């Protein structure tokens, strides 16, 4: 079943019963009850207006690299943000303005090729600009808060805004955009990232910065398992501890439930070894939490978003 929504000068399709597993890095999960993939902020606003009229639950999907979708799927409307594209480089200021669906790794490579430093650490992050800002994503000592000037956003009720970095409540893997998924947050205060402006340092040697970017990627590829589907790091690091170290010390390296496994190379990764279900992965995450809490009295907090009913 397909529903057409008319926007200014265009038409978008909102489709039903769309399989989501192929849109996630875990390669698991059920269907979206309703699904739309806007290519502009205008189409996004129209999709939100349709959702508001229908009074449906709302879920956002970016690169699909930091989430676990239940086997039962997701009720309501799923908006896939990965087709909101566009990058602008301001050679005068060294600023990059990018739409929410742009892959952050692609921007890191383009910046390096121009001789702009400041995003070398981001080359191995498999997410989009929207996810980068929402999660205050980071790696190897860098994070979004270090270089973000402002974020463009739209509320669920359709009001656009521009928010400066200091207004975003940044802390470790956290921003105010995560209020989106809190059920007690009013729709007018639930904002969706539509773009971001980053400050880099232009004028460098493209060859050297590209080489440094390559080294960052090589480090991630040699210390983290990329040969099987995963979502990246599953748990936040409970300062001053490292989640991977706690899991390893609990004797859980290689532990399996169904076809889901704690990675041997990096214990904070859960792998789909082929044919795993979302429930296999969910039960593995629960088992790791329970074991570490029993042994160390530390409750590991998931970094991965879990969508649907488990």
**145-192, pLDDT tens digit by residue?**
999 999 999 999 999 999 999 999 999 889 999 988 887 888 778 899
Residue of 173, 190, 220, 305 marked catalytic: 173
pLDDT digits (tens, 9 = 90+) for 8-42: 566 889 999 999 999 999 999 999 999 999 999 99
**Domains of the chain with CATH codes:** 2-80 (3.30.43.10), 87-223 (3.30.465.10), 243-301 (3.90.78.10)
| 173 belongs to the catalytic site | yes
| 301 belongs to the catalytic site | no
**Which residues are paired to 25 by β-bridges?**
none
Q: What is the 3-state secondary structure (H, E, C) of 218-260?
A: HHHHHHCCCCCCCCCCCECCCCCCCHHHHHHHCCCCCCEECCE
Name the CA radius of gyration of the chain, rounded: 20
Residue of 150, 175, 233, 267 marked catalytic: 233
CA atoms 223, 140, 85, 303: torsion sign: positive
pLDDT digits (tens, 9 = 90+) for 256-284: 999 999 999 999 999 999 999 999 999 99
User: How far apart are the C-alpha atoms of 148 and 146, rounded to whole Å?
Assistant: 6
> Of the given ranges (90-99, 165-174, 284-293), which has the lowest mean pLDDT?
165-174
| 207 belongs to the catalytic site | no
Residue of 31, 43, 102, 303 marked catalytic: 303
| Exposure b/e, 267-289, CB count within 10 A at least 16 = b | bbbbbbeeebbbbbbbebbebbb
* Position 299 pLDDT exceeds 70: yes
* Position 123 pLDDT exceeds 70: yes
């Amino acid at each position: 079943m397909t529903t057409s929504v008319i926007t200014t000068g265009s038409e978008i399709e909102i489709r039903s019963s769309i399989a989501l597993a192929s849109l996630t890095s875990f390669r698991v999960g059920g269907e979206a009850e309703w699904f739309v993939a806007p290519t502009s902020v205008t189409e996004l606003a129209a999709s939100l207006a349709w959702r508001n009229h229908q009074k449906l639950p709302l879920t956002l999907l970016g690169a699909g690299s930091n989430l676990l979708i239940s086997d039962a799927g997701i009720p309501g409307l799923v908006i896939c943000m990965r087709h909101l594209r566009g990058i602008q480089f301001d050679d005068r200021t060294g600023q990059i303005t990018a739409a929410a669906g742009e892959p952050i790794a692609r921007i890191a490579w383009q910046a390096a090729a121009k001789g702009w430093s400041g995003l070398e650490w981001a080359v191995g992050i498999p997410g989009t600009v929207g996810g980068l800002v929402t999660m205050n994503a980071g790696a190897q000592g860098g994070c979004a808060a270090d270089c973000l000037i402002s974020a463009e956003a739209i509320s669920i009720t359709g009001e656009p805004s521009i928010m400066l970095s200091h207004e975003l409540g940044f802390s470790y893997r956290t921003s105010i955009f995560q209020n989106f998924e809190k059920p007690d947050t009013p729709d007018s205060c639930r904002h969706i990232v539509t773009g971001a402006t980053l400050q880099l340092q232009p004028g460098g040697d493209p060859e050297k910065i590209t080489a440094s970017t390559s080294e960052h990627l090589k480090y991630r590829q040699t210390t983290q398992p990329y040969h099987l589907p995963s979502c990246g790091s599953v748990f936040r690091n409970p300062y001053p501890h490292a989640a991977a170290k706690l899991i390893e010390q609990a004797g859980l390296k290689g532990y399996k439930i169904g076809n889901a496994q704690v990675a041997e190379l990096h214990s904070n990764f859960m792998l789909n070894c082929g044919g795993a279900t979302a429930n296999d992965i969910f039960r593995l995450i629960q088992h790791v939490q329970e074991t570490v809490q029993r042994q160390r009295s530390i409750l590991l907090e998931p970094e991965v978003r879990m969508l649907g009913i488990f």
